[in-house]
Chain A
Amino acid sequence: MSPGRIVAVVPAYNEAGAVGRVVDEIRAASPEVEVVVVDDASTDGTAAVAEARGATVLRLPFNVGIGGAVQTGFRYALEQEFDRAIRLDGDGQHDASEIPKLLEPLERGDADLVIGSRFVDDGASYRPPFARRLGIRVFARLVSLLGGQRVTDTTSGFIALDRAGIELFAREYPHDYPEVEATLVALRSGLRLSQVQVEMRERETGTSSITFVRSLYYIVKVLLALLVASLRRYPRLEGAGR
């Protein structure tokens, strides 16, 4: 099955230091992919940097958060009728050379959503601090339970979608701390999920916005979101399972 047109969605908020490199890497590793940087109302000229490197840039009029920004990219993908969409974060943590690995299950027709997981092969080289690891495992177990399929990395934003996936996420994508909930939403909508082992890099520039209090809030919020997501009914997506 030929891949057709592929788009790389790169959400970015104040990543002027890293986004240029991300765009370059994608274009170098996979030149057939159209790079779309979604600028979430950055104040440091991120959009200009991306545009100068040849990316298509979607500029949001005000900050909507990572979920909203990523969804913007998927809406674009839907509107422009791309066959495949990949998401890489604008801070450089996702490695563009792993893109073919992510696309492979889609090409084989085995899945509609592919997640680049750091934990498929039981850890590999990524050893986050204990608390974080515990948290990730708890969420993974929970989503696996609620979704009916084993999920190993629920906070990974490194994903690839086929048309069914694009259609779902363009229409419906959680806005706060989305990755965990999005996986569950996809599973409950009948999308087929596949996971591939990837390595991620440390954040290049800028600081992570996670503090302890925010982590606590995050945990509660995600648990609640998962609860709601598991209780809602989801229309079966036609085209999923094809």
Chain B
Amino acid sequence: MLELVRGRRLKERYALLWLATGVVLLVLSAWRGGLNTIAGWLGVTSYPPAVLFAVATLFILLVLLHYSTVISKLTDENVELAQRIALLEERVGRSASTAPRSPAD
């Protein structure tokens, strides 16, 4: 995790989120007593570790949802950039063909 953040491949805010979730899941899986208590509150009596899976799944779903919105936005921005590049290159091409030749040519 630390390496990923240091290497700029993972933004700090996500690292924090993953760290926190990792800790919670780790603690609950190790501390059987706590897991049973929480399972009790939620009415899950037959198989307490199910709570662990539920939490992990929920977390994953939320992250995926978040990614979907990020990707959508990036896509739109990407398309706009492509369009503006196409327009700019055309404009540059036009002025290049009418511009006086520089001494270097």
User: A-side interface residues toward B, CB under 8 Å?
Assistant: 38, 56-62, 64, 68, 71-72, 75-76, 79, 175
Docked complex Cα distance between A68 and B83 (Å): 8
Docked complex Cα distance between A156 and B100 (Å): 45
Evaluate contact between A75 and B90: CB separation under 8 angstroms: no
Say whether chain B's binding surface is mostly helix, strand, loop, or mixed.
helix
Evaluate contact between B90 and A79: CB separation under 8 angstroms: no
Evaluate contact between B83 and A75: CB separation under 8 angstroms: yes
Docked complex Cα distance between A57 and B86 (Å): 9
B82: chain A residues at CB < 8 Å are 60-62, 64, 68, 72
In the complex, how many residues of chain B place their beta carbon closer than 8 angstroms to a beta carbon of chain A?
Answer: 11
A68: chain B residues at CB < 8 Å are 79, 82-83
B90: chain A residues at CB < 8 Å are 56-59, 76
Of all chain A residues, the one with the shortest Cβ separation from B76 is: A175
Most central of B75, B79, B85 by chain A CB within 10 Å: B79
B83: chain A residues at CB < 8 Å are 60, 64, 68, 71-72, 75
Does B89 sit within 8 A of A, measured CB to CB? Answer: yes
Evaluate contact between B86 and A38: CB separation under 8 angstroms: yes
The contact of A72 among B75, B76, B87, by CB within 8 Å, is: B87
A175: chain B residues at CB < 8 Å are 75-76, 79
Of all chain B residues, the one with the shortest Cβ separation from A62 is: B82
